[in-house]
Structure 1
Amino acid sequence: MHLAYPAVLAALLFATGLYGVLARRNAILVLMSVELMLNAVNLNLVAFDVWLRDTLHSGQALALFTIAIAAAEIGIGLAIVLMVYRNRGTSDVDRLRDTAEGHEPDQNPGPGTAAGTARPEAAA
């Protein structure tokens, strides 16, 4: 088999995963897209290992490490997503952007501002 077939398939898988990471708003779908991208990398590692006829099979060994890292990533990522869903009630990535600030926008305005009015810093 030629190297072009698995390379093209891996490129398509990686592009699909990249689109899923950039376009999706659900955190679980983003994690699935990252897994798709890691599987594309695994396919490239194994394909180049077979193409180069490596006696140590280092591409396949690296693919095993990538699978282990992917399993750990999905376990920790899913635990974080479930905890955030319990606390916030949503797994929408756009709404979770405000978690670093500690409050929802327009829900807890700062001192001297009324809900729905512009802050003086934003007007300048």
Structure 2
Amino acid sequence: MVPLNHGFFLVFVLFSLGISSLLIRGNLLFILISLEIMMNAVGLSFVLIGCYWAQIDGQIMYILIITTSAAEVSVGLIFLMKLYKKYNTLNVDVLSEMRE
């Protein structure tokens, strides 16, 4: 069994990777991927806590997070496709300067 500290170190690395990518990247697709990485880190922390306390609740929360994540990605990808079709770019800086 993996020690709890090692698991939370992995959660911290994944979450900080997602935050840094969210702040650095200007592409909407990479922002969506960063949000997915952060949600997976939170889900992993629920699983680790549930395993530590020998409860199934963490795994149930992880399934809920994955389901929410799938809905977010489907709506987000449709939004990205419409933006790309209309403006021919996914750069956040360019899109924020456009006014209709």
Provide TM-score, normalisation by structure 2. Answer: 0.94
**Percent identity of the aligned residues?**
30
Query: Distance between the aligned counterparts of 2:93 and 2:60, measured in 1?
Result: 37
Shift of 1:73: 0.5
Q: Which residue pairs with 2:37 in the alignment?
A: 36
Aligned length: 99
Question: Stretches of 4+ moved more than 3 A in 1?
Answer: none
Q: Which residue pairs with 1:77 in the alignment?
A: 76
SS at match of 2:92: coil
Query: Distance between the aligned counterparts of 2:4 and 2:44, measured in 1?
Result: 11
Q: Which residue pairs with 1:122 in the alignment?
A: none
SS at match of 2:90: coil
Provide TM-score, normalisation by structure 1. Answer: 0.77
- Letter matched to residue 7 of structure 1: F
Q: Give per-residue Cα distances to partners, 1:31-70, cap 9 Å, x unaligned.
A: 111100011011101000000112xx11111110000010
Shift of 1:98: 3.5
- Letter matched to residue 46 of structure 1: V
Higher RCO, 1 vs 2 (CA within 8 Å, ≥6 residues apart): 2
> Is the radius of gyration larger for structure 1 or structure 2?
1
Q: How does 1:8-27 map to 2 (within 5 A)?
A: 8-27=9-28
Q: Which residue pairs with 1:89 in the alignment?
A: 88
